Each structure stands twice: as structure tokens, then as C-alpha cells.
Amino acid sequence: MPRILRLVCGILSVLLSCLATWFSPNAQASGTLPDDAYIWQRKWTPEVTEAMRVSADLVRGWHVLAAEYVKTGGGYRWAHVLPDWRALAAARQPVVAVFRIDGQIAQWDDAQFIASIAATLQTWREHGVMPAGVEIDYDCGTARLAAYAGFLRALKPALDPAMRLSITALPTWLGSADLDDLLASNDEAVLQLHAVMNPAQGLFDPDRAYPWMTQFAQRTHKPWRVALPSYGTRVTWNAEGRIVAIESEHSALYPGGIAHELIAAPKTLGAFVARLDREPPRGLIGIAWFRLPTSADARAWSLPTWRAVLSRVELSEHIDVLARPEESAGLAAAGPAQATNAASGSGVSAKRGMGALYDVLLSSTGNVDAELPGIVRISGACSAADGINGYTLAYDAKGMSLRRTHRGLLRAGTQINIGWLRCSADQKSGITFHVES
């Protein structure tokens, strides 16, 4: 009888555990990895708090930027972030306080850093926020890994015993013999797979990412997560080919140079996540998305796209091209700085010519943000045209087209005006468009 009772109790225990998981408000769909999110905004606005609120049902935990050690003037100092204390204190998910250290810093006073981190954590507690862990984000070169491991070993005993210590890790560290000691000095790691190579090679490469994860799994015996991008960035090079500005949350306001928009395509990330759900490398316990999108973050995914990707629903991106009759609004949109039209003179004078005027609109009708088409070809009896909002007019052997100058995403459910046409008054039904990526 005792043996039977033990068996029954064991079965009940398993069932209760399963029920707790199924009915947990943050439980993930069966067979999917849990999703965390980085709140990396230096300034907490109402949009950040609202994005946190509407995403809470999909997020397991928050990785919140607490402070960063950065260069200011002639030296370095800790710059602290003032979060929405009430929102963090009310969060039902675990909160990890992240401390970022400029990767160019070669050395620091360990005792001073530990004291600064402890003081910041105390401030959080005084505001009712009890961090579940501390994460150090230090993108240093491999020559610094041994010293970095020593710092982590000194930091760990200074933390509350219930706190987990984690770090962000780079694929470039995989060739270092010191990586094993570094990974052994903390409880958890987050392997960063975005913006880790030359920006000219893009923001995220799924063909490189999975092999890096496989190698990382062979080097660590601790649980780990993978950081994936949900944002875009603009990189500017000067005439000598050096990177002079990287814009993401804030504009760098660099004059001139050659700029390129780097994007994290939702469908590309969705397909990669599906593979991770099916074939998670050994030790992988979740995904940490960088960064939490907000309605005011122009280079991050839209919130509907963010929810679609995290919910693992089928992703559909689609852009329609429309010709809309236009009377005067397009004239103001073109402005005097538009490029000259080869057939009809300046953009403004061409718009004042004879014929019907149409705006060319792109409309995103899928459930995720769609990449802007590279070329929109135009056919019809149109005598003049011009591009706006990142598109320019071009002619080739195939005729007239509007061509994209920079990559970007058109948010789901939105429209953008990319140009205008002047065509014969009876030609609206005869205007057709052909999209090329």
C-alpha cells in the first residue's frame, strides 16, 4: 500500500505541475521556447510603459537597462536609467537589472564597480523592485576575457544569494580558450546574434547564427538564451569607408556620408525561431528579444508584428501599390527640392501641367511589417512623375519606375506615399504597377 500511495502521489504531483504551467498567464504554447525582452530605452516614456503592459502576456521576463558605464567628456562614469518604478514593481514577470560597460574600456576597479552595482540595486529595492538577477553586458575583445571572468567571480558573492548572475556573450569569443572560464563564472549567458559582424554584412544572418549557437552549446554547461533583433538601424560611412554613425533609437545627425538601413525582417526571424523551437541546441532555455518595440520607436517592429512573431502565428507580409487621385496635397508633399523630371522639367512644374494627378501609395495589408519594395514599375499614359519619402524617379529600357533609396519596413496596416504621377485624365484604370524586390 505505501508503494501504491507513493506512486499515486507522484502522479498527482506531475499533474499539478502541468496544470500550473498550462494555466500560468505567461505559459508558452506547447513546444515553443519562452520569450524574454530587453527594455533598453534610456528614457522611459508613456509609450515604453504601455508597450510593456500590452506585451506582458507573451513575455517570460524583462531585461531592463539599469545603468551603463560610458565615456563622458574626459573620463568615464555610470549613467543611470530612471525607469517607471510603478510598472516594474507591478510586473508579474521576473526583472533582470542589466549593467552595460563600454567594450572599449580596458580595465576598471573591481571593488568600485561592485559597490556601484550594489548601490543601484539598493535604489531599485527602495522603489519596490526586487530584481531576480543581474546581467553584465560587456562587449570586450577576447584579450579581456580572463580579467572579465575574474571580475564576475568577485561580483557573484556580493549579490543576494537568490539573484542569478548572467552575461551577454559574443560569437567572436568562440575562438578564445578563456571562454570556458568566463562561462563558468556566472549562472547564465545570453548569446547575442545581432549586429555582431561588419555592418555591411547586415544586422542578422540566420545562416551564421545557428552554427554559432551549436558551437556555443559545446562550450557551456550552464543554461543560456539567445538574443535576437526586433529592430532596424541606420549605419553611415564617411568617404574613407569608416563607420561614423550608427542610429537606432536616436538620430546621430551626421551630415553627408553614405548611409544604409539595416533591418531585421520579421519573416526571417519568424522562420529562425520556428527552427529553434523544433531543434533547440543543448542547454538553450529561451529567446531574449532586443528590444521591446514601442509605438514611438520608428526603427523597431510595430507592436502587432512583435505580437505575431512571439505568438508563433503564420506570418504574412503583403504590399499593394495604389494610384489615388490627388488634387493639391501631393503638390505640397513634393516640395521645391524634388529631382528634375527628364520629360517635363522640375517636379513642381510637372505637377502643374495638364492631365490627372495621382499619388502612388504603398499599403501594407499583411499581419507583419513588410520590407519596402526595391522597384515599383509604372505602365500607363503618364507624362510626368517623381518620387518622395525615400523613392526616386528612374528610367531604363523597361520604362518609368520609382526606386527605393534605403531599405526599410512598412508597418502592418499602414500606408505611405512614395510619389506622384501625371497621366491622361481617362487613364486611372489603365495605370498598372509591377513590384520588384
For the stretch 241-277, pLDDT in tens is 565 455 555 554 455 556 678 899 999 999 999 999 9
| Residue 258, pLDDT score | 62
Helix (H, G, I), strand (E, B) or coil at 301: coil
- Model confidence band, residue 404 (pLDDT cutoffs 50, 70, 90): very high
Backbone φ and ψ for 205, nearest 5 degrees, come out as: -125, 105
Measured CA to CA in angstroms, residue 332 lies from 323, 335, 338, 351, 352 at distances of 18, 6, 11, 10, 12
CATH number of 319-436: 2.60.40
| Residue 424, pLDDT score | 83
Q: Please calculate the CA angle 275-276-277 and round it to the nearest 5 degrees.
A: 90
Mean pLDDT over residues 102-121, rounded? 96
Cα 337 to chain centroid, rounded = 33
The pLDDT of residue 335 is above 60: no
| Residue 11, pLDDT score | 37
| Residue 237, pLDDT score | 52
Q: Where in the chain is the domain with CATH 3.20.20.80?
A: 28-310
Query: What grid cell was written down for 213?
Result: 549557437
- Model confidence band, residue 233 (pLDDT cutoffs 50, 70, 90): confident
- pLDDT > 90 fraction of the chain, expressed in percent and rounded: 71
Mean pLDDT over residues 146-169, rounded? 98
Measured CA to CA, the distance from residue 117 to residue 158 in angstroms comes to: 10
Mean pLDDT over residues 368-393, rounded? 95
Measured CA to CA, the distance from residue 56 to residue 143 in angstroms comes to: 39
CB neighbours of residue 336 within 10 Å: 7
How confident is the model over 303-321, as pLDDT tens digits? Answer: 999 999 999 999 999 999 9
- Residue pair 317/366 in contact (Cβ under 8 Å)? The answer is yes
Contacts of 340 (CB under 8 A, 6+ apart): 346, 347
Query: What grid cell was written down for 330?
Result: 501631393
Measured CA to CA in angstroms, residue 199 lies from 241, 311, 404, 426 at distances of 12, 29, 20, 48
Query: What grid cell was written down for 280?
Result: 533547440
Looking from the CA of 409 toward its CB, the CA atoms found within 13 Å total 27
Measured CA to CA, the distance from residue 335 to residue 327 in angstroms comes to: 15
| Residue 393, pLDDT score | 98
Helix (H, G, I), strand (E, B) or coil at 77: strand
How confident is the model over 192-205, as pLDDT tens digits? Answer: 999 877 666 678 99
Tell me, yes or no, if the pTM score tops 0.75. Answer: yes
Question: Of residues 20 and 191, which shows the higher confidence score?
Answer: 191
The pLDDT of residue 29 is above 90: no
Long-range Cβ pairs for the range 326-334 (8 Å, 24+):
326/357, 326/358, 326/359, 326/420, 327/357, 329/359, 330/357, 330/359, 330/417, 330/420, 333/359, 333/388, 333/417, 333/420, 334/386, 334/388, 334/420
Mean pLDDT over residues 390-408, rounded? 95
* The residue type at 205: D
How confident is the model over 61-90, as pLDDT tens digits? Answer: 999 999 999 988 888 999 999 999 999 999
| Residue 151, pLDDT score | 98
How confident is the model over 218-230, as pLDDT tens digits? Answer: 999 999 999 999 9
CATH of 28-310, one of 3.40.190.10, 3.30.200.20, 3.40.50.720, 3.20.20.80: 3.20.20.80
| Residue 345, pLDDT score | 37
